[in-house]
Amino acid sequence: MTARRIRIGTRGSALALRQTETVAAVLRHAHPGLEVAVEAIRTDADRRPDTPFEALPGIGFFVKELEVALLEEHIDVAVHSMKDLPTVDADGLTVCAVSAREDPRDVLVGRDGATLATLPRGARVGTGSPRRAAFLRAHRPDLEIVPVRGNVETRLRKVDANELDAVCLAGAGLRRLDLAHRITEWIPIEVMLPAPGQGALGIQVRAGDAETAGIAAAVDDAGTRLSVVAERGVLARLLGGCRLPAGAYAEVRAGTVHLRAAVVATAGDRAVRGERTGPTAHAESLGRALGEELLGRGAGDLV
């Protein structure tokens, strides 16, 4: 790479490409004359769209191929959804910037305008997320939760074709794809805590590549980064990834992090919840302390 050209790697879905183009636009604006090339790379999870999360091997199945391409210098930067990144950096790589966050809440796309309150008893709700499934069962144990994967458009088609009464997914993705009009309910944080980092994008570079990190710094949003650090601190202490039925959400106000988190049993019949507040300088340790508290109150037994 030269200072005038940067290669960005991303997953090849419409959502991933749209997210990456927003990053590329920020970089072009911040660095006039910079040539930015976007390269789509298929990940293990992309190659097996019908395989449930719990059947995919290991962790980081949305990011591994991007990280390999980065380490082998086929690309200079990888753009990830922060909720997909493992909490421990891969050897030789680091997240140098975190983008300003979209709305992190989950949403419902229901047929005929259905919401969680108006879905009929026994309604079929699709999601590929163990976290969303657990929170849905906790709130509406009568619902039938149907495992579903695939891109956003694929999931919406299942509602349109009457295969499902609703699907539950991240609102950020729908907004980025200009599909917010399909949302029938923004699910309150009190009902469903988002995945740690949901709605934020992580910019990953090779460790020690100060030049690229300096270019990518234009994307960084300090408030979002601190919130995400606190949320991922919880997840790190719980030793979990996107297959863990846990949610966390942090807000930064006046130099203080306000963090809440929960672990919900898969069946939705039990939950351990907690909150912590502390200075932004201790965002990660705050998250780990809350994770420790949840474990001490029995969260480990739920997973």
- End-to-end Cα distance, the chain: 44
Q: Which of 46, 76, 84, 178 is catalytic?
A: 84
- How many beta carbons lie within 10 A of that of residue 128, not counting itself? 21
Contact between residue 193 and residue 251 where contact means Cβ atoms under 8 Å apart: no
Token duo for residue 129 = 């997320």
Record the tokens describing residue 17, joined without a space: 């490409």
Residue 122, token pair as written in the block? 């026994």
In terms of Cα–Cα distance, which of 8, 197, 180, 201 is closest to 107?
A: 180
Q: Residue 154 and residue 54: Cα distance in Å, rounded?
A: 20
Given the DSSP bridges, would you call strands 124-127 and 93-98 parallel, antiparallel or unpaired?
unpaired
Instruction: Find the DSSP H helices in the chain.
Output: 14-30, 44-47, 64-71, 130-139, 152-160, 171-176, 210-216, 222-238, 283-296, 299-302
231: Cβ contacts below 8 Å, ≥ 6 apart: 196, 197, 248, 249, 250, 259, 261, 287
Q: How many CB atoms lie within 10 A of CB 2?
A: 8
Does residue 84 have an active-site annotation? yes
What the block records as the tokens of 260 is 């809440």
Catalytic residue set? 84
